Structure 1
Amino acid sequence: MLYAILAYHVEDELLAWTPEQDAAVVAKVIEVQAPLRASGRFGPAARLDDTQKAKTLRGPGAGMVLDGPFAETKEQLLGFHLVNYDTEEEAIAAARKLREVNPSAVYEIRPVKLFVPADGFGGA
């Protein structure tokens, strides 16, 4: 089963990090990712750009493009990891490892159905 580990954070706090602070957190996250990736169970991960650059498409027909993600919470979705584990418990364990090095982040674990698998990751 594929799971998305969605990384939420208070965006203003993250944007206030110095380049050195940001690089240190990213380096620690990459260290945690390495053994997960080596197991063949850790797929693509990405940091999303600023939420103020986001657009939302909604409405009938061709829809309407609106500025922003319109988050209703204090934290915004700022990145994600795609993992492939047999159980939800294993995906939660991977999220806990990520949280150990980025404790101010909130991680949401959600099952994923791929429309277009990448490089065979998560293929049936």
Structure 2
Amino acid sequence: MKYMLLIYSNPESWAGLSAEQREDLSRSHQDLTRELTEQGLLVSAAGLADPITTRTVSVDADNTRSTTDGPYAEAKEHLAGFYLVECEDIDQAIDYAARMPDAKYVAVEVRPVMDASGLEM
């Protein structure tokens, strides 16, 4: 089953990291990406641009489009990146999420990805 490992961050936690901690975080992601790739578990992974570049789009009942700057939710934390992995079960996905360096600073969310039918939930 596929799982999204959603990496959250906030400006305060990032600003509080030393240069060495930032390098370690990057190196840890490279190591984990390599391991997941070698095991055939990595489907995709990416970091996301700063939330200031985000645009939120909605369409009302009259099909009028509205676009606003910034993310939909007003929160300190923002989605900073993701891994899409193919795991045997949620426990294996949780194990990988716990190994992400970001879990030490803010959080990594694990969410099952539904197939087209959505019946597995």
Identical positions, percent: 28
Q: Deviations over 1:63-113 (max 9, x none)?
A: 2111000333321111111100121111111101114x7510300111124
| Conserved? CA contact 2:97–2:103, under 8 Å | no
| Conserved? CA contact 2:13–2:105, under 8 Å | no
Name the Cα RMSD after superposition: 2.3
Q: Deviations over 1:25-76 (max 9, x none)?
A: 1112111222222110112111111101100011322521110003333211
Given the two structures, how large is their TM-score scaled by the length of structure 2?
A: 0.79
Point out where structure 1 has 5 or more consecutive residues left out of the alignment. Answer: 116-124
Point out where structure 2 has 5 or more consecutive residues left out of the alignment. Answer: 117-121
CA distance in structure 1 between the aligned counterparts of 2:45 and 2:16, rounded to whole angstroms: 22
CA distance in structure 1 between the aligned counterparts of 2:49 and 2:23, rounded to whole angstroms: 16
Given the two structures, how large is their TM-score scaled by the length of structure 1?
A: 0.77
Letter in 1 for 2:75: T
Letter in 2 for 1:4: M
Q: How many residues are aligned here?
A: 114
| Conserved? CA contact 1:11–1:78, under 8 Å | no
